[in-house]
Structure 1
């Protein structure tokens, strides 16, 4: 209803003397038109500013885009693609999920855990990691003091409750959860359990992602043993490693140690990130060189890969830092090439 029509109706209602029920009629009209105006304003606001409305374009899950990103940029992690894509599809396509989705990423540093968390955000929210509905907690930054675990727990509960009340489709990413104060993560248990609502807030459409190095040594030992037995990397299944990851998360010192989340089976998916081989490091180097706008040659890729450390000593199979240092090495080597061209 246009503003002119609203004004006319209100005037007619309020100035007609002697009309029984004019006040109640005016209130009714005002209620109807006020709601219409609010809806119109809300729709207009969502055109220009990020909002949580399902009718807007700000939150539009796209699993195809996620798969394309993982296929293009994530190397050596076939298990991750299969588990993450299916888990998200199942959760996001369900308008009445039983609980919040909880995924726990485990593995050696540089395997791509943060990368995948970023791709998840970009596949759900138009603004990706910049979305106001994506919340990132880094344990060493946000929860640095072990003795303040109880205070952190209360603040974290308030933060989650407040943000999910604004948007049910909220994403919470906990980085370095293995460095979180012991027992603190138990504070989120009510929000990921099988409750329809808590204090009239429904948490079941939200997503929680944990990033941890726990389980990494067990995964690496198992992968080395499988490699020595002649098993191809791509033949390794989730069944081969999931129990190692869950056991490592529960027993190793860190944020999930003896956690109620594990005891009560509230973590839906334990996702193992395999240690990266030299061939995967070379693929990462190729991507970074191209991203920087340079031509990717075999010689340049080899120089980058040679800068990294590998283990075990007898066969130099796995990168000690995965692809984590590739960007820095590419910058250094390209700078050396440019320096030589300028000053030689």
Structure 2
């Protein structure tokens, strides 16, 4: 539609110029009018269709709403709440950042890595995860073959370059990066490095998020050690765990293993997701029961928490799957209660 509108303007000018062999003052006026018409059309289009214009409301980060969502719905992850909101705010408020923001989320499954990524998308874009400026890659789906690393790299580079040229505030989420073919992630290095532009495209306002299970064992061992020493969970700081997270990402097998982006210090924040305790599982169960429109009684919450598995065996401190299976457990128990009510 943009091209059609521009073509109409050009045809008007050309037709006027054929009258006397030169572009008249009238043709110039028509050209200006056409440009104004096009600008008005573009503004009108952005009212109904998603666009990246600064004057539109499609890309409008809301850090207050993000903080509220993280505080209310992300349980047991005080480090995540502290770092993510501040990192995003600092990056988004900078009109001339030195590089793209890169955050790497690490920890056991079910700790909330995908959850936080969804909250970020929902509070940056009006359409949330459905926005055309949010791009999610799942390694086992999008990059399944080890022997196609070079092809994947080229396709990924083209995809990132094309999308950032359309919207500099693009969000790229790489899920299961620990299952990505070795060396492939190095393909994005130019886009997250300290370059003002690459072939005329500025990548510095874009955001990259990596989701990985690497570092989980080291984080858990450190947590157990601190718990046994009597340290409160909420007193654990980034200083206690960030270096373990970075070492795990670099040394453990997976997409970040000995990668150039780690060697060149291009990841801005390594964020550990702590293993969840039973009390956090109960909070997740409560949220899910309420979300389904049921009353979250203590008995029902306890039943859900009892259905989960915990480790280590001697004290069963942490959930083996975090809150990942809560939805299924809640659904089953609610259906079971309904069945008993109808047929007992």
TM-score (norm. length: structure 2): 0.94
Name the structure 1 match of 2:149. Answer: 149
Name the structure 1 match of 2:291. Answer: 291
Quick one: distance in 2 between partners of 1:27 and 1:161?
37
Name the structure 2 match of 1:310. Answer: 310
1:165 corresponds to 2:170: no
Quick one: distance in 1 between partners of 2:270 and 2:27?
56
Do the aligned residues in 1 keep the contact of 2:286 with 2:301 (CA within 8 Å)? yes
Name the structure 1 match of 2:272. Answer: 272
1:235-273 Cα offsets, whole Å, 9 max, x none, are 000010000000000000000000000000000000000
Alignment of structure 1 residues 77-92 onto 2, 5 Å = 77-92=77-92
* Cα deviation, residue 29, structure 1: 1.4
Find the residue that maps to 2:200 and give its secondary structure. coil
Alignment of structure 1 residues 50-199 onto 2, 5 Å = 50-199=50-199
1:4-25 Cα offsets, whole Å, 9 max, x none, are xxx9xx89x959x98xx97331
Quick one: distance in 2 between partners of 1:31 and 1:105?
51
1:108-141 Cα offsets, whole Å, 9 max, x none, are 1100000000000011000000000000000000
* Cα deviation, residue 91, structure 1: 0.4
* Structure 2 residue ranges without an equivalent (≥5): 1-8
* Cα deviation, residue 27, structure 1: 3.3
Find the residue that maps to 2:123 and give its secondary structure. helix
* Structure 1 residue ranges without an equivalent (≥5): 1-6
1:219 corresponds to 2:219: yes
1:29-84 Cα offsets, whole Å, 9 max, x none, are 13211211111000000000000001101011110000000011000000001100
Quick one: distance in 1 between partners of 2:217 and 2:278?
18
> How many residues are paired up?
333
Name the structure 2 match of 1:4. Answer: none
Quick one: distance in 1 between partners of 2:27 and 2:51?
30
1:129-156 Cα offsets, whole Å, 9 max, x none, are 0000000000000000011111101100
Do the aligned residues in 1 keep the contact of 2:281 with 2:305 (CA within 8 Å)? yes
CA root-mean-square deviation: 1.7
TM-score (norm. length: structure 1): 0.94
1:169-213 Cα offsets, whole Å, 9 max, x none, are 000000000000000000000000000100100000000000000
